[in-house]
Amino acid sequence: MNAERKPTTTIVIDAKSGFCFGVSKAIKTAEAHLQKGGELTSLGDIVHNEEEIKRLREKGLHSVGLSDLSTSNSPKVLFRAHGEPPSSYETIKAAGKEIIDATCPVVLKLQQRIFKAWQEIKMVKGQIVIYGKKNHAEVIGLSGQTNNEAIVVQSSADLHLVDASKKTILFAQTTMSQSGLEEMEGWLRAHLHNPQDLTVHKTICAQVGNRVPHLKEFAKQYQVIIFVGGRKSSNGKVLYEVCRSVNPHSHFVSGIEEIQPSWLNPAPASIGICGATSTPQWLMEHVAEKVHSLLSQDLP
């Protein structure tokens, strides 16, 4: 969307920001079930975006943690794009509920690869290392493929957990940064007794990876950047930092009420609005409308 406003500010929403296909598919799956009537329970928040969760809650989608499952009356439980460990499948089945599996196909494939690698590396007493956020839902699902024997590393501070004498297969959570994965690979090669014992699978999702170079270019083109994302979105944090690295006038908001009039005074020549893979298009449009309306007022 492009809109010209008083006197010369150009407001542009990045056409490549917004839901990735995995999140989009999960939300469409939830909406299709909600349209049939009744409530639906999602295991954990369906997307790391509070505004979108609010919108879906009004349609009957409620989220619960696995330990609170008994509080839900819904006979169906939706697994979100992040995926779940095998134990969640067993728990839901044991509770007599139907699973609506909206795991992203990319995550599903990664789970299968990790399971296969674990089966193989076990035979030579090796180890699986996952570069990711320790308590992130996707990582819990990935680690579950290895009976939670995988070593999760988030930074070099976790390297002591890795046995330097063992054959090692490294995977990454799909939303980690490419540069972080390269750093982790470098650290592991330096740390292992035999660097050739390391096999690396570059499993950052292309939907995320491709956005980094694109956003770098996008953020350079505008005087001010407003990045729209959920506070819990790991992808949002990574992509916002990408914007900030090339444009110091980048601001993070999770909703329109967080837009500061001081960012718009004096009125910038141009404002770029972008977001994470979990940011709904409608929210970026609301932000653009709010910016437009603030610019129309006499700002303090």
The residues annotated as belonging to the active site are 138
Helix-then-strand count for the chain, H and E? 10, 13
Tally Cβ neighbours within 10 Å of residue 263.
Answer: 18
What is the torsion angle, in degrees rounded to the nearest 10, for the CA atoms of residue 54, residue 39, residue 103 and residue 286?
-20
Query: What minimum distance in Å lies between the beta carbon of 117 and ligand SF4?
Result: 18
Contact assessment for residue 247 and residue 225, using Cβ atoms and an 8 Å cutoff: yes
Q: Which residue is nearest to ligand SF4 (CB)?
A: 22
* CA neighbor of 176 nearest in space, from 145, 146, 201, 196: 201
214 is in an annotated binding site: no
Query: What minimum distance in Å lies between the beta carbon of 166 and ligand SF4?
Result: 28
Query: What minimum distance in Å lies between the beta carbon of 81 and ligand SF4?
Result: 4
* Residue 144 structure tokens: 């579950």
C-alpha of 237 from chain center: 9
Query: Which residue, 43 or 121, has its beta carbon nearer to ligand SF4?
Result: 43
247 is in an annotated binding site: no
82 is in an annotated binding site: yes
* Residue 173 structure tokens: 């959570």
Query: Which residue, 274 or 288, has its beta carbon nearer to ligand SF4?
Result: 274
Query: Which residue, 192 or 205, has its beta carbon nearer to ligand SF4?
Result: 205
Q: How far apart are CA 267 and CA 54, in angstroms?
A: 32
235 is in an annotated binding site: yes
The amino acid sitting at 9 is T
199 is in an annotated binding site: no
On the CB side of 15, CA atoms within 13 Å amount to: 2
104 is in an annotated binding site: yes
Query: What minimum distance in Å lies between the beta carbon of 26 and ligand SF4?
Result: 8
C-alpha of 185 from chain center: 22
Residues of this chain that interact with ligand SF4 (CB under 6 A) are 20-23, 81, 104, 106-107, 174-175, 205, 207-208, 277
Contact assessment for residue 271 and residue 4, using Cβ atoms and an 8 Å cutoff: no
Query: What minimum distance in Å lies between the beta carbon of 159 and ligand SF4?
Result: 26
C-alpha of 255 from chain center: 17
Binding-site residue set for [4Fe-4S] cluster? 20, 104, 205
Binding-site residue set? 20, 48, 82, 104, 136, 174, 205, 233-235, 278
Binding-site residue set for isopentenyl diphosphate? 48, 82, 136, 233-235, 278
